Amino acid sequence: MLNVNLPKFLVSVTGLFVFTVLFDHVVHGTLLLPLYESTSTLWRSATDVQSLSTLDYVFKLMLSVVITLLFTRHFEDKGIGEGIRFGIFTGLVYGVMKLSAYIHLPISLDLALGWGIGSLVYAILGGIILSMLYKK
């Protein structure tokens, strides 16, 4: 069934989760903040977002578990290059999904590009982190 090294898996999930929280704060809470503010009527208020912060952490943890599980399915212990390749593939999938929001939401192309590029960078860095944490 699931043939993972449980201690390494848990360390990897934890590392990716911490990275996810920090990365999201930098990208969405700092770099893209002006773009969010320019479309503030589309988003929940800061108070509403704060009230949902526990759920935000739950989703980030779920994402970390799923990404780590995907990484372990094809793990070959080939170093950082393996993490970069994994990150590129998962980042392209995630990034294209984020870019497509431009079609459905009245957001600027800059914001959609920020999401898409941010997703690719997140996945590549996350892949590197996983390759360093889940090694033999």
What are the tens digits of pLDDT across the range 100-126?
Answer: 999 999 999 999 999 999 999 999 999
With respect to residue 16, please indicate whether it lies within any of the assigned structural domains. Answer: yes
With respect to residue 56, please indicate whether it lies within any of the assigned structural domains. Answer: yes
Separation of alpha carbons 66 and 126, rounded Å: 12
Compute the average pLDDT of residues 57-68. Answer: 98
pLDDT at 74: 85
With respect to residue 1, please indicate whether it lies within any of the assigned structural domains. Answer: no
With respect to residue 115, please indicate whether it lies within any of the assigned structural domains. Answer: yes
Domain of residue 62 covers 6-133
With respect to residue 102, please indicate whether it lies within any of the assigned structural domains. Answer: yes
With respect to residue 71, please indicate whether it lies within any of the assigned structural domains. Answer: yes
Per-residue pLDDT tens digits for 68-94 = 999 999 889 899 999 999 999 999 999
Count of structural domains, the chain: 1
**84, 124 contact by CB (below 8 A):** yes
With respect to residue 20, please indicate whether it lies within any of the assigned structural domains. Answer: yes
